[in-house]
Amino acid sequence: MNRQLGNMKESKDQEGYSMKLFVQDMLQFERGRDQSFSTLLENLDWLQVKNAAIYMLADPVLHLFKEEYKAPEKLYLKAVLRKEKVTIVPAIKQEKRQAEIFENHQLDNEERHDWVLLPLFFKEMVYGVLLCDMTEEMYTNGEFLINQVSSAIKMITLLQANEIIQQQLEENVAALKVNNIELDTISKSDVLTGILNRRGFYSEAQNRIKESIQQDHKILIVYADMNNLKIINDRYGHEEGDYALKLIGRFLKEIVDKKGIAGRIGGDEYACAVEYEGDDEGEKLLQVLYQKFEEFNLQSNKPYNITVSAGACVVSKKQDFTLKDALLQADERLYEVKKYRKKDVAK
């Protein structure tokens, strides 16, 4: 009996420890992006769940007690766990009909499964559903899981809203500084780095994509994100953070030279559009970019390293993407690089 009680206590302690790790690991995201949903599916092994999917509503729905609930016709598949491997679903492939939830080819339908469909909600707001394996551990801990996942999704939506507000604030502040005499020129330039700002880049890049497709040329769209800006700001001061942002703008401008344009489209986010003749997906250009930062860090007297993560997407007549589609593809490839970045900033 003592041995049995000891085994039960050990099992309970292990379960409690797994829950603590689950709660901790689930919140390892920094931004309100679709990629953050993958974090929610990466930590379900303690429930023996090998297959799962997160479907979100287009907008949260208010649902009150005893009120009839009408399921939406369309949902948006954000991330899929299939045989313990998580996949982020590209934005252009997310929209699914209600009837497709159990027919999703990305899930493991090669053998018989018991599925459970659980609502994702916070108070009276319904955000979507979680579809996953029905295991014994899920049966026991399903309510705990949904509470945690729903709280994380609430945080993701708040981050999304915050990013929109921050972006609007930055654009408004920039607009206030615009001189009426040089309105057209200044409104398209980033005050800090001297390269194009979001508005200027989008306007110019769309024109270049249109021209390149008409002339049957390829154009490379690059999405770059500075690593560890917050750490540099907090540890070395905002002047050093500004220095790093300026350096990134300068290097990107040098990379594209006269064949393209570079722009700062967010706080620490940049984009480039450049004529491209290579047969790869921009790997050669990205390697040149990474090499510039590596050489600079070796020679500079700064106590910290300045690095970026970047992704690229080729736009051609065969791949007739819009600028938005190309930036989404490049951002998804950037995210794969970002997962392996090091957070040790100090030299």
Q: Which domains does the chain have, with CATH numbers?
A: 2-162 (3.30.450.40), 186-338 (3.30.70.270)
User: Buried b / exposed e across 162-185, counting CB within 10 Å, b at 16+?
Assistant: eeeeeeeebeeebeeebeeeeeee
* Cα four-point dihedral sign 312, 200, 339, 149: negative
**pLDDT computed for residue 130 by the predictor:** 92
**Residue closest to 184 by CA, chosen among 165, 197, 172:** 197
**Where are the alpha helices (H) located in the chain, listed in sequence order?**
2-26, 36-41, 136-176, 183-186, 198-214, 229-236, 238-256, 283-299, 323-338
**pLDDT computed for residue 14 by the predictor:** 65
**pLDDT computed for residue 107 by the predictor:** 64
* pLDDT tens, residue order, the chain (347 aa): 888 777 676 766 565 555 555 655 566 666 667 778 888 888 788 888 888 999 999 888 888 888 888 888 899 999 998 887 888 888 888 899 888 887 765 665 566 678 899 999 988 889 999 998 898 888 888 888 888 888 888 888 888 888 888 888 888 877 776 665 566 666 788 989 999 999 999 999 999 998 888 888 889 999 999 999 999 999 999 999 999 999 999 999 999 988 899 999 998 999 999 998 877 888 999 999 999 999 999 999 999 999 999 999 998 877 778 899 999 999 999 988 887 777 678 88
Residue 217, C-beta contacts closer than 8 angstroms, at least 6 positions apart = 275, 316
Other CB atoms within a 10 A radius of the CB of residue 3 amount to 7
**Residue closest to 224 by CA, chosen among 244, 252, 189:** 252
**Residue closest to 144 by CA, chosen among 22, 24, 54, 62:** 22
The full length of the chain comes to 347
Q: Residues 323, 261: contact at Cβ < 8 Å?
A: no
**pLDDT computed for residue 21 by the predictor:** 54
Three-state SS for 232? helix
**pLDDT computed for residue 295 by the predictor:** 94
